[in-house]
Amino acid sequence: MVSIEEAQRIIIRHTTLLPPEKVSLLQGLGRVAGEDIHAPYDIPAVDNSAMDGYAFSHAELKRNCLTVSGFLPAGGQRTVPVPPGEAVKIMTGAPMPPGCDTVVPIEETEAAGDVIRLIGVVKPGSHIRKRGDDIHAGDKAIAAGTLLRPQEIGMLASMGKTDLLAHRRPRVGVLATGDELLEPGAALLPGKIIDSNSYSIAAQVLEAGGEPLMLGIATDDQGSTRQKILSGLQADLLISTGGVSVGDKDYVKEAIVELGGEIKFWKVNMKPGKPIAFAVLDGKPVFALPGNPVAAMVAFEMFVRPALLRMMGHPGIFRPTVRAALTEPVKNRRERPHLVRVIVEALQEGYIVTTTGNQCSACLSSLTTGNGLLRLAPGADFAPGDAVDVFLLDRGFEMGTTWNWAD
């Protein structure tokens, strides 16, 4: 049995970066750049106005008054110099006309016919975006390995890019095992349960950026299990749930070995999720997760998600943590580290954390009502108010305060 950290190290050692592929600009969102991208030209390409206002030569300003002799909208261009003592009304983004080096905003002037008077002091060079202020031609705008967020997509668009090289999204085979399982929508029969694992794991794959390939359900038979695993090798990574413990009909590990795979570890010192196996089969990572729904999802978070992010080239592969104050006493009387499902809340004075109640590894409600995991070492004993590190699980926490539409 290995520790959580040792299991993660083994997995990362056997997880390789997927090659980049050409994708459209919007398809690159959330992916990782597979190449350095350099600016083809200066941005902005010319000096332009940062405000709706009036462009003029500051050196020729007399008595804070100017005669307006033209209009220059965004997208327009003026090649004739503006005479000394005169100004051109200019819109935000319009290129600075010849002979002008300063812009005064409209709201800082008073107009009387075709004459404006400047209110207050205007400094030379005010309210102008200089050529190359954002980026210069030839500069590295996006480095290989950069996570492409909306702002990077915007930068690429501003450089005229319509496509780019980004690391490929992994195809992930998702397999459930067990004679007791039925597909969602089937009539519930005595002794049977609905397969939730395939869908929760597939959703986790999607949320991490992968592409799930649903392999269905393998019955508790060695031949069926072997055949389903073999079909999953068309993917880049394979995940199974169930059939990985020591029961009479747990065939997953045996099937992997029969197909030529090598088990790198089996069992991790943690609760929930102890009976997890990691193998390499046909050069591809294979994760055999527990059958209990919470154990499977927690094991995914700790081990599979980092592997998927590594395959996609993400610079950070682990969820963020926050320091939070406990609202209740929490203990771990067991000999294994316990990953407790918790609710993290952000208050003005900082974060607070509360357990979700029932910590049964089969109770999905312990995850649906929470947004984090608190790792308790064996013998840990915390009192209310103690500060602990909490592993944030989902994006819902990042969305901020709920708006009350009734207000």
CATH of the domain at 261: 3.40.980.10
Q: For residues 97 and 78, is the Cβ–Cβ distance under 8 A? A: yes
Domain that holds residue 389: 321-399
* 198 found inside a domain: yes
Residues 388 and 346 occupy one common structural domain: yes
Distance CA 194, CA 181 (A): 6
* 135 found inside a domain: no
* 316 found inside a domain: no
pLDDT tens by residue, 45-80: 999 999 999 999 999 998 899 999 999 999 999 999
Whether 195 has a pLDDT exceeding 70, the answer reads: yes
Joined tokens for residue 83: 């005479």
Distance CA 289, CA 310 (A): 19
Q: Which of 262, 289, 311 is the last residue before a domain boundary?
A: 311
Counted domains in the chain = 4
Residues 120 and 153 occupy one common structural domain: no
* Locus of tokens 């350099």: 38
38 SS3 class = strand
Residues 252 and 375 occupy one common structural domain: no
Whether 21 has a pLDDT exceeding 80, the answer reads: yes
Q: Say what the pTM is.
A: 0.89
Q: Is 188 exposed, middle or buried (0-12, 13-18, 19+ CB in 10 A)?
A: exposed
Task: Tell me what pLDDT residue 123 has.
Answer: 95
Whether 257 has a pLDDT exceeding 90, the answer reads: yes
Whether 247 has a pLDDT exceeding 80, the answer reads: no
Residues 155 and 28 occupy one common structural domain: yes
Distance CA 286, CA 232 (A): 10
Q: In sequence order, which residues have a C-beta less than 8 Å from that of residue 354 and are 6 or more positions away? A: 326, 327, 328, 342, 343, 345
* CATH code of the domain containing 148: 3.90.105.10
Residues 300 and 331 occupy one common structural domain: no
* 381 found inside a domain: yes
Residues 33 and 108 occupy one common structural domain: no
Whether 228 has a pLDDT exceeding 80, the answer reads: yes
Whether 244 has a pLDDT exceeding 90, the answer reads: no
Residues 187 and 294 occupy one common structural domain: yes
pLDDT tens by residue, 267-320: 999 999 999 999 999 999 999 999 999 999 999 999 999 999 999 999 999 999
* 134 found inside a domain: no
Residues 179 and 119 occupy one common structural domain: no
Residues 35 and 56 occupy one common structural domain: no
Residues 106 and 225 occupy one common structural domain: no
Q: Which of 76, 100, 129 is the last residue before a domain boundary?
A: 129
* 404 found inside a domain: no
* CATH code of the domain containing 71: 2.170.190.11
pLDDT, averaged across the chain? 94
Distance CA 126, CA 55 (A): 10
CA distances from 68 to 71, 82, 105, 115, 277 (A): 8, 10, 14, 6, 77
Q: Predicted confidence band at 398 (pLDDT cuts at 50, 70, 90)?
A: low
Task: Tell me what pLDDT residue 249 has.
Answer: 67
Q: Which of 67, 102, 129 is the last residue before a domain boundary?
A: 129
Whether 397 has a pLDDT exceeding 80, the answer reads: no
* 406 found inside a domain: no
Q: Predicted confidence band at 400 (pLDDT cuts at 50, 70, 90)?
A: low
Residues 151 and 57 occupy one common structural domain: no
Residues 85 and 163 occupy one common structural domain: no
Distance CA 262, CA 281 (A): 7
* 136 found inside a domain: no
* CATH code of the domain containing 365: 2.40.340.10
